[in-house]
Chains A and B, each alone.
Chain A
Amino acid sequence: EIVLTQSPGTLSLSPGERATLSCRASHSVSGSYLAWYQQKPGQAPRLLIYGASSRASGIPDRFSGSGSGTAFTLTISRLEPEDFAVYYCQHYGRLPPTFGPGTQVDIK
């Protein structure tokens, strides 16, 4: 089972700033089967990125994903007010899927 760690735990930024979130895997993620989700309070997670760098349908292009192997990054180029939320990375592919503990992006 692949264990995912995310950093930082909390990121405090202002609207318009760039956010860089990290996800590290305990073992190499084959096929870049790494996804990112956004979750707002009281809502279900929303898929943002799959295959480490492909945006899901309807996701704005200010969200981008990169990385391979054991190190992955989610970048939000310019934070909009609606982007303040918790972000999770997930390894998928062979079951069981695993999630990172999340990064909270707060308004500074």
Chain B
Amino acid sequence: QVQLVQSGAEVKKPGASVKVSCKVSGYTLTELSMHWLRQAPGKGLEWMGGFDPEDGETVYAQEFQGRVTMTEDTSTDTVYMELSSLRSEDTAVFYCATYRSWYPFDYWGQGTLVTVSS
């Protein structure tokens, strides 16, 4: 059984960066691909990007291109999502989720609330 445990809530000022982690247990990162999604308060789900096992590359949603970086540390089975140039509209819960080609997101982290406020 896959378990995903994310880092805790963050409060950041506009213009700053945030780095959220997601630790995988039950499987190793060599067996999984991980993606990240955003959910603003009271709003729907928005895909940010993740590793595409078909291409062997990390792909990002156009909206976040240039501002987001997703990395992984296979020695600790932890993935990271760093979002820079934060603005108030980035206030949201960020989720990591497992991804398999041609399959929906079946395992999710508990979410990390990032609040951007001056």
Contact = CB atoms under 8 A, between A and B. Distances in A.
Chain B residues touching A, majority SS: loop
Interface in B88-118: 95, 97, 102-106, 108-111
Given A99-B44, A99-B45, A35 B109 contact: no
Contact of B59 (A31, A88, A93, A95): A95
B45 A88 contact: yes
Contact of A99 (B46, B108, B110): B46
Contacts of A47: 104-106
A100 B44 contact: yes
Contact of A35 (B52, B95, B104, B111): B104
Contacts of B110: 44
Interface residues of A, number: 22
Contacts of B52: 95
Contacts of B102: 31, 33, 92-93
A102 B108 contact: no
A50 interface: yes
A72 to B, nearest CB: 13
Contacts of A35: 104
Interface residues of B, number: 18
Contacts of B45: 37, 45, 88, 90, 99
A101 interface: yes
Given A95-B52, A95-B59, A99-B46, A44 B106 contact: no
Interface of A: 31, 33, 35, 37, 44-47, 50, 56, 88, 90, 92-93, 95-102
The 7 A-B pairs of least Cβ separation, nearest first, read A35-B104, A44-B108, A99-B45, A92-B104, A101-B44, A47-B106, A50-B104
Given A33-B102, A46-B108, 17 more contacts: A31-B102, A35-B104, A37-B45, A44-B108, A44-B110, A47-B104, A47-B106, A50-B104, A56-B106, A88-B44, A90-B105, A92-B102, A96-B47, A97-B47, A98-B47, A99-B47, A101-B44
